Chain A
Amino acid sequence: MSCTNNNPAARRYCKRLAVTLLIYALSLVLAIGIFLRCHPTGILAYALAVLPALPLIGLLAIFGLYLAEEKDEFQRFIGVQSMLWGIGGTLAVTTVWGFLESFVHIRHLNPSLDSVIFWIFVGISIPLLLARYR
């Protein structure tokens, strides 16, 4: 999938991705700014903390939209396969880390990093899958 090619679904995905990442940056700055100035507590604090997570969840939704809109069956297949490798890798890393945390008390891994790990695995698996099916 490339943002510069003639594929309309891929182009729409890239636009949505750029907008979502911009919203993420803005919501993160907003949430941290409010926390530093107003020190909210209770439900308001939780709601504000979840605000920057929404665009990150949106990244998954727009990838799902891309898969639904993509006409090229091979590209869709690569997208689905890469997501499966992504979640497989993420669950493997998370489970190993979880047991190490429980038994050896290593540093706590923030759960929000799991989505970063997921996209790293997706990113690694796409060229490997393309090479495999070339």
Chain B
Amino acid sequence: MVCSIKSPAQRRYMIRMWIMVALCVLLSVVAALVFRLCHPHDPHGVLSYLVAVLPALPVIGALIYTGVYLAEEKDEFQRYLLVQSLLGGTGGILAVLTAWGNMEDIANAPHMDLIYVYPLFWIFAGISNVIVKVKYR
């Protein structure tokens, strides 16, 4: 799949994203195992916080690599498409979070796990990518 991509910037982006996905899964498993097997004596100690944050680092890496891709991409149209998709994703995720937050606050809706925010953002970005592509076909 990665080999069929002609743009070098897109190829690099895909490779980096897959590495970040693999790291995120790996570090999530490591963090879960550490908390399950080691039962840290102080669950609010610095070490516990550091282990808990580990799986978030590849996610931050993926965000940085998205910015790097935008800087490296030579094709202005492709860059425009991604920026539009990201803005669509931003609008979608912030709309859902604001509405859900108010429902949590005022109507006692169940808590939304914040881990789902990042994948939900990419779902919205993916939907807006399809819409933008159809618009400019």
Chain A residue at minimum C-beta to C-beta distance from B108: A45
Which secondary structure dominates where chain B touches chain A?
A: helix
Could you say which of B55, B70, B94 contacts A115, with CB atoms under 8 Å apart? B94
Does B127 sit within 8 A of A, measured CB to CB?
A: no
CB–CB A102/B102 < 8 A: no
Quick check: which of B11-19, B56-64, B129-137 contacts chain A, the rest being far away?
B56-64
Can you sample 30 A-B contacts with CB below 8 Å? A31-B106, A32-B106, A46-B103, A48-B107, A49-B102, A49-B103, A53-B98, A60-B91, A60-B94, A83-B87, A84-B67, A84-B86, A87-B89, A87-B90, A88-B63, A92-B56, A92-B59, A94-B114, A95-B59, A95-B115, A97-B114, A99-B56, A103-B32, A108-B111, A111-B98, A111-B101, A111-B117, A112-B100, A114-B97, A115-B94
Residues of A within 8 A of B (CB): 31-32, 35, 45-46, 48-53, 56-57, 60-61, 64, 80, 83-84, 86-88, 90-92, 94-105, 108-115, 118
